[in-house]
């Protein structure tokens, strides 16, 4: 089984510890999907003495729980703040990628491709018909004249 299936097991275990009001905020089809995709052979237990954020869990579990919280359990203010933080993080990542992968390779190529009449250009190759087609056309032309 994959880490994802183990993560579903961890999430399902955690969901079982939610109070009824919070549990009912999550659509039943989501809970069913988690239940059906979990690894039943993997055992995960919560330490009741630790807060949820201090529990040992897979990174995938944290991601799933984060999405469940954002989409179903967070207040509208919390949800807006989370979405705003995610958008800011995406913008930072895009800026980092642009800085990391920016290069002048294409700029130099564009300068080289500018038309210069002083530079000799390559002659365009003319298309010639297939040899069989040319012979067939000559035979047709020959019989067409008679």
Residue 38, number of CB atoms within 10 A of its CB: 21
Residue spans per domain, the chain: 3-77
User: Which pLDDT score is estimated for 146?
Assistant: 47
pLDDT tens string 62-93: 999 999 999 999 899 998 998 899 999 999 99
Strand, helix or coil for residue 117: coil
pLDDT tens string 91-115: 999 998 888 887 655 555 555 555 5
For residues 9 and 42, the answer to whether their CB atoms sit within 8 Å is yes
Distance of CA 25 to the CA centre of its chain: 28
User: Which pLDDT score is estimated for 36?
Assistant: 94
CA distance 103 to 106: 7
User: Which pLDDT score is estimated for 133?
Assistant: 77
pTM of the model: 0.61
């Amino acid at each position: 089984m994959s880490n994802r299936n183990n993560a579903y097991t961890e999430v399902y275990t955690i969901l079982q510890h939610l109070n009824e009001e919070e549990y009912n905020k999550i659509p039943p089809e989501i809970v069913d999907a988690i239940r059906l995709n979990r690894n039943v052979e993997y055992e995960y237990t919560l330490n009741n003495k630790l807060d949820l954020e201090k529990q040992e869990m897979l990174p995938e579990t944290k991601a799933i729980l984060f999405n469940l919280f954002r989409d179903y359990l967070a207040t509208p203010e919390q949800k807006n703040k989370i979405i705003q933080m995610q958008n800011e993080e995406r913008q930072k990542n895009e800026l980092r990628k642009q800085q990391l992968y920016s290069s002048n390779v294409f700029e130099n190529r564009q300068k080289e491709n500018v038309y210069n009449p002083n530079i000799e250009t390559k002659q365009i190759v003319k298309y010639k018909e297939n040899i069989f087609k040319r012979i067939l056309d000559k035979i047709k032309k020959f019989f067409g004249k008679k």
